[in-house]
């Protein structure tokens, strides 16, 4: 039997997003820029997974708008 990671539902609007500090945001992008690879398309996928699905810092609609 395989164990799948329990995923939280995506944040649909701004009321469902979690708060973050400027320091957390800066460290996130510093880490992404340092260790990320695969070009802009791959980094956009990593950012969606991290910021929208896992950390819930950005709502899906805001992320898709850019």
Q: How many CB atoms lie within 10 A of CB 51?
A: 22
Q: Which pTM was predicted?
A: 0.67
Confidence check: pLDDT of 4 > 90: no
The DSSP 8-state label assigned to residue 18 in this structure reads: P
pLDDT at 24: 95
pLDDT at 1: 47
pLDDT at 17: 87
pLDDT tens sequence across 14-50: 567 889 999 999 999 999 989 888 888 889 999 999 9
Between CA 59 and CA 3 the distance in angstroms is 27
């Amino acid at each position: 039997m395989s164990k799948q990671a329990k995923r939280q539902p995506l944040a649909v609007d701004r009321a469902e997003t979690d708060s973050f500090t400027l320091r957390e945001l800066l460290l996130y992008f510093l880490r992404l820029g340092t260790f990320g690879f695969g070009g802009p398309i791959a980094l956009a996928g990593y950012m969606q997974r991290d910021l929208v699905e896992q950390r819930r810092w950005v709502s899906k609609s805001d992320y898709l708008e850019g």
